[in-house]
Amino acid sequence: MIKAVEQLKIGVVGIPGKWSTEVLADEIEAKTGFRCVIDIEKVVADLSMPTVTYNGTCLCELDAIIIKKISQTYSPMVLDRLEILRFVESCGVKVYSKPCEIIRLVDRMSCTVSLARAKIPMPKTVITEDINAALNAVKDFGEVVLKPLFSTKARGMQVISSEQSDKKILNELQEFYDVHKFFYIQQKLNLPGHDMGLIFLGGEYQGAYARVGNGESWNTTIHSGGKYAEVCPNQEIIDMARKAQAQFDLAYTTVDIAETDNGPVCFEVSAFGGFKGAQEGLGLNMAGAYVDYVIADLRAEQQSNAINPAD
């Protein structure tokens, strides 16, 4: 039997009370009459039953789950939370995007290696645990950005210049290593005061917005005072972003790209993709479009199962 839209039960894993989580839950409720915002920190998985519950709701009985946010900040703990959702998926619940694909993105190293293997242009990058090799990278690149392997919105990132003495650079590198236990070193590029977020839903390009810096920070993130604006990237940039996101099987994502003197470069593919840039920069309701995509995908699968029932 094919469920009517109003009978579908679609949950949202996110941060209760946060705009992006609640706007997605609002769209689901408006289209299905069902609302379930799931705080992953309070989920209980009993693998012997097996059940995964949140506030009395068994997540394994939902039709689908959309992962909007897994944590306020990224850390290795995020991987464990995604493993719980991977188990929910094994119970027959459709999860958007697939936890196994998100796992490949929340770790900056995994994302970078995947993009490099696909020959996606990126800033020059050195990854090492050797402090002397890290020093050489700083001196070779001139000015670098040290990036934690788990972070969002430029949190924890640090700029180091080769114009400092070797002793000062080594001290800064050691302080970074003491906290993060790994060096991810990327050459700092001269950017035109903005970078772009290209939006993809089901692998299809939807549009792009710019994050415009406030002139007071080295990065353009909204967290650091940047603002959203409309942007019209050329076909080369759109094709690059499409190829970058195609390395991961994601339902919804944004690809961060910036233009440089040597051509466009890709910084990352987002594990989750935001809605605010699309709304404020383009006037697009991507939360609503995402829910429509999920409902259509669920209906298509139900129809396929009705025509070709499992033995």
Residues 130-147 have a mean pLDDT of 96
Write out the DSSP string of 136-180: HHHHHHSEEEE--SS-STTTT-EEEETTS-HHHHHHHHHHHHHHH
Q: For residues 215 and 63, is the Cβ–Cβ distance under 8 A?
A: no
- Angle between the N-to-C axes of helices 99-106 and 77-90, in degrees from 0 to 180, rounded to the nearest 10: 170
3-state secondary structure of 247: coil
Mean pLDDT of the chain: 91
What pLDDT sits at residue 218? 44
Going from the N-terminus, what domains does the chain have, and what CATH number goes with each?
Answer: 5-97+287-307 (3.40.50.20), 125-187 (3.30.1490.20), 190-271 (3.30.470.20)
What pLDDT sits at residue 221? 57
Q: Which of 134, 126, 265, 244 is nearest to 187 (CA)?
A: 126
Structure tokens given for 247: 């390395």
Say yes or no to pLDDT of 123 above 90: yes
pLDDT digits (tens, 9 = 90+) for 73-100: 777 788 999 999 999 999 999 999 999 9
What pLDDT sits at residue 253? 98
| Region of poorest pLDDT, from 94-98, 123-127, 191-195, 238-242 | 191-195
Write out the DSSP string of 30-74: HHHS---EE-GGG-EEETTTTEEEETTEEGGGSSEEEES-S-SS-
Q: For residues 63 and 2, is the Cβ–Cβ distance under 8 A?
A: no
307 pLDDT tier (thresholds 50, 70, 90): confident
What pLDDT sits at residue 23? 97
Say yes or no to pLDDT of 220 above 70: no
CB atoms within 10 A of CB 102: 24
Say yes or no to pLDDT of 118 above 50: yes
pLDDT digits (tens, 9 = 90+) for 283-304: 999 999 999 999 999 999 988 8
What pLDDT sits at residue 74? 73
- Strand partners for 269: 255
Say yes or no to pLDDT of 38 above 60: yes
Q: Which of 79, 104, 63, 52 is nearest to 299 (CA)?
A: 63
Q: Which of 253, 74, 230 is nearest to 154 (CA)?
A: 74
More confident site: 66 or 214: 66
Structure tokens given for 209: 């917005």
